[in-house]
Amino acid sequence: TSRLAHVRPLWVCAGPRSVSEDTRAFPHRPLQFEPVRMDFDLAKKHSKEVEQRRREAKRKLEQQRRDEEQRAAMEQEHRERELVRLQEAQEERARAEKEALQNAGVRYSAQLRPYPSSRTDDKLELPPSALQELERQGALEQGTLLTFAVTCPSGGPAMGGASSSSLSATHAGVAEFTAEEGTVGVPPRVALCLTKGSGLDSLSAVGQVEVRYLRLPRSARSLARLQPRGEGFHAGGAGVVRLDLQHVLQETLRGHTALTEGDWLPIRHGGATYELVVRALEPEPHLALLDTDLTVEVLPSEQTEAEQRAEEERKAREEALAREAEEREHERLARAAQKAAALRPEPAAGPDAVQLLLRLPDGSRLQRRFLREETLGQVLDWVEAEPSSRVRPGEFRVVQKWPGHCRELGPPEAGERLSGLGFARQEALFLQHLGSEAPAAADGVDALDAPERRAGAEAGAPAAAPAAAAAGGGAWSAAEERAHEALDRRLEGRVGTPTAAARSEPELGEVRGQELVAVFERLRALGMRPPEAAIAAKKYAAQLKELSEMGFEDWVHAVELLDKYGGRLLRVANLLSERAAEAPEAAFPAPPAAPPAAPAAAPAPAARAGAADTPAPEPDEATGAFPAADVDEKLRELAAMGFADEGRNRELLRKYAGRLERVIEALVSA
């Protein structure tokens, strides 16, 4: 196009007639032409526009294709998510139906905030509303064991927030319904199953846990396979710890309600904690530990299992390497036989022959004669044909060496003649293997042995050392330490069963006479109704006096706790101490001044040693008549105390010669 721009203008004929006709009509008149210039710039611009439109259309088609692919991918992803959601919903419905059938129609589920409990078993402390809901649905009337599924939210402490599809869950029983509404007391054993390796204090970051009523299956015979974590029962990875595992497990599982596959079971020995993982349960993956003959199998520890697995893998690799080496050796020997068959006959000694001495890496020697006109390739074939050389094609060199000279000869020089390489009548060569100084048959096994051992050791590294209290001294760690102390005492026999715990209560002297009346009057002064005060004074007078000496003056609240815990002084005192420590500003107020004690006609006699809680009727102590005014006054006082039977009161006053404290004691005992 650039050349045509410089061409002279073309001339075209103008007029309707042809040239022949115009010539005939005007033979002497020349033809007339009009100059017309072609616009090549316009054509070039047009072709650019066409190319641009073509590229734009292609770009639009490509963008449309990409949009369609993206839309199809999004639709496919949406369909997959919807399919997963429907599958999860179907599984949830199936689980709910199965649980409804398993729970006999009882349904309870709540999101509760966990707080640490110091119990040594796996029983929760639930709020009273849980008891009301279970009672409303008749769960208590069925006479079955109350068991619950406890679940951490997605990405909870056990997963480190990395997983959103699996939950950290376990099963537990219930100890009491005394927790505050919206909370649940979680013992360290259950907390460990929820948090696992992240530590109990990580449960503080969990806002709520789901507690769902679930009746666990029961079996007459069950099997549990437990695996020690980390090093197992080894002291610092060295000596084996000697312990009566059966006794420790029996004491640890005493009072436990449930067991679930995947649970971490902490056991104590010698002040140290060892963790067992429940790897398998039969016949169900979660069982109720009530009226069942539980058989326990202890598997090798995690480190031992990892070491055994690494050893098996190492042996498998060695066997594979040995097989490969054997196959390569067969191939080499077959190739050596072919090379030997293809070699020319060895020439006789003479001036045209070269005597070669080949030294092998193991110190042995090979000898053969070649003609000076033969090539180095035939020498290399001879080396491969010798079985003792243990070489593979292309992976060796022959070295020509003498003082001041060293040359490696291999496939690049295979076409050169021996005379051209300067071989003398006698020539010494050295065999050199490439990439390894060892023969091929020993490849891999010894060289990889040490690294594989290190890899096996790393694979067998313990998942975690024997557990200790989590660092930081949080509330969960403190509760765990208290539970460990209680479990240690139980393992050492200091506190065993509830009967032994009752025997550990301090022996309290019997309160009778005027002291009993004083306790009764004080309870009345604190607002307790006279009949209730009389019963409480008779049952807990000694405990109330001990609590008063400890500084706990709210006797009405103390009586409620004594009723709840069967009169166990230490349990009530510990509970009052904990509540006072949690809310010191709500310390028990000083009681109001007690009214004057009832007048006594005579000092109370000393209590007889070994007297029973309900004293037997004593002989008549009346020594004579006493003023009627005194009788009427004491009758009014007894009536004010809630003893309205005037005939019975007169009889006792007459029996005990007007001694009011003995009368009150007899009435309370009755």
pLDDT band at 593 (very low <50, low <70, confident <90, very high): very low
Question: Which of 163, 217, 204, 171 minimizes the C-alpha distance to 190?
Answer: 171
- Residue-level pLDDT at 67: 92
One-letter amino acid at 580 equals A
Contact 174, 198 (CB under 8 A): no
Determine the pLDDT at residue 503: 52
Reported confidence tier of residue 61, pLDDT bands at 50, 70, 90 = very high
Q: Tell which residue, 115, 122, 118, 117, has the closest CA to residue 183.
A: 115
pLDDT at 597: 40
Question: How confident is the model at residue 624, as a pLDDT?
Answer: 42
Q: What is the dotted CATH code of the domain comprising 343-433?
A: 3.10.20.90
Residue type at position 638: L
Spatial separation of the C-alpha atoms in residues 169 and 47, rounded to whole Å: 73
Cα–Cα dist 174/178, whole Å: 11
pLDDT band at 440 (very low <50, low <70, confident <90, very high): very low
pLDDT for 225 equals 92
Q: How would you classify the pairing of strands 405-409 and 33-36? A: unpaired
618 pLDDT higher than 50: no
How would CATH label the architecture of 221-300?
Roll (3.10)
Give me the pLDDT at residue 29, please.
57
Give kind and range of the element (H or E) at residue 369. Answer: strand 365-371
Q: Higher pLDDT residue, 389 or 15?
A: 389
Instruction: Say if CB 295 and CB 221 are below 8 A apart.
Output: yes
Hey, do 104-154+167-213 and 343-433 end up sharing a CATH topology, with the first three levels equal? no
Among 105-109, 121-125, 473-477, 653-657, where is mean pLDDT lowest?
473-477
Specify the higher pLDDT residue, 630 or 1: 630
The mean pLDDT value of the chain amounts to 76
pLDDT band at 444; cut points 50, 70, 90: very low
Q: Given a cut of 80, is residue 10 above it in pLDDT?
A: no
Exposed/middle/buried for 662, CB within 10 Å: 0-12, 13-18, 19+?
Answer: buried
pLDDT > 70: what percent of the chain?
Answer: 74
Contact 277, 224 (CB under 8 A): no
Q: Looking at residue 599, what is its pLDDT?
A: 39
CA distance 669 to 541: 12
Regarding predicted confidence, which is higher, 133 or 505? 133
Query: Does the pLDDT of residue 313 top 90, yes or no?
Result: yes
Question: Under DSSP, is residue 501 helix (H, G, I), strand (E, B) or coil?
Answer: helix
CA distances to 6, 189, 194, 203 from 151, in Å:
91, 14, 7, 12
Write phi, then psi, for 179 (nearest 5 degrees).
Answer: -75, 155
Among 208-222, 456-470, 566-580, name the one with the lowest average pLDDT: 456-470
Tally of helices (H runs) and strands (E runs) in the chain: 17, 19
pLDDT of residue 71: 92
Statement: residue 435 has pLDDT above 80: no
Report pLDDT digits (tens) over 148-204: 999 987 545 544 444 433 458 899 999 889 899 999 999 998 988 988 877 777 778
Q: Are 209 and 151 in contact (CB under 8 A)?
A: yes
- Given a contact cutoff of 8 angstroms between Cβ atoms, the answer to whether 520 and 665 are in contact is no
- CA-nearest of 121, 141, 151 to 258 is 121
- For residue 588, is pLDDT > 70? no
The predicted pLDDT at position 235 comes to: 62
Cβ neighbors of 247 (< 8 A, separation 6 or more) are 491
Residues 246, 251: Cα–Cα separation, whole Å? 9
Percent of the chain with pLDDT over 90: 15
Q: How close are the terminal C-alpha atoms of the chain, in Å?
A: 133
Q: Say which range, 36-40, 154-158, 565-569, has the weakest mean pLDDT.
A: 154-158
**Residues linked to residue 173 through DSSP beta bridges, in sequence order:** 123, 147
Confidence of residue 72 (pLDDT cuts 50, 70, 90): very high
Provide the pLDDT for residue 91. Answer: 84
Tracing tokens 């497990």 back to the chain, one arrives at: 249
- Alpha carbons within 13 A on the beta-carbon side of 243: 23
Whether the Cβ atoms of residue 13 and residue 31 lie closer than 8 Å to each other: yes
pLDDT category of residue 507 using cuts at 50, 70 and 90: low
Measured CA to CA, the distance from residue 288 to residue 219 in angstroms comes to 8
**Lowest mean per-residue pLDDT among 12-26, 106-120, 536-550, 594-608:** 594-608
Helices (H), 196-274: 245-253
Average pLDDT over residues 434-454: 46
Interval 479-492: pLDDT, tens: 888 888 888 777 77
Residues 6+ apart with CB under 8 A from 124: 117, 148, 150, 172, 173, 174, 175, 184, 185, 186, 187, 190, 211
Q: Is the pLDDT of residue 352 over 90?
A: no
The answer to whether residues 543 and 552 touch, using CB atoms and an 8 Å cutoff, is no
Average the pLDDT over 245-256 and give the result.
83
pLDDT at 600: 36
**What's the pLDDT at 236?**
60
Element (H, E) at 448: helix 445-459
Enter the pTM of the model: 0.49
Tokens describing residue 554: 């709210």
Domain ranges of the chain: 46-103, 104-154+167-213, 221-300, 343-433, 508-581, 628-669
The CATH number of the domain covering residues in 104-154+167-213: 2.40.40.50
- Reply yes or no on whether the pLDDT at 238 is more than 70: no
pLDDT attached to residue 24: 52
CB 182 within 8 A of CB 128: no
How far CA 432 is from CA of 236, 287, 390, in Å, comes to: 50, 69, 11
Q: Residues 222, 293: contact at Cβ < 8 Å?
A: yes
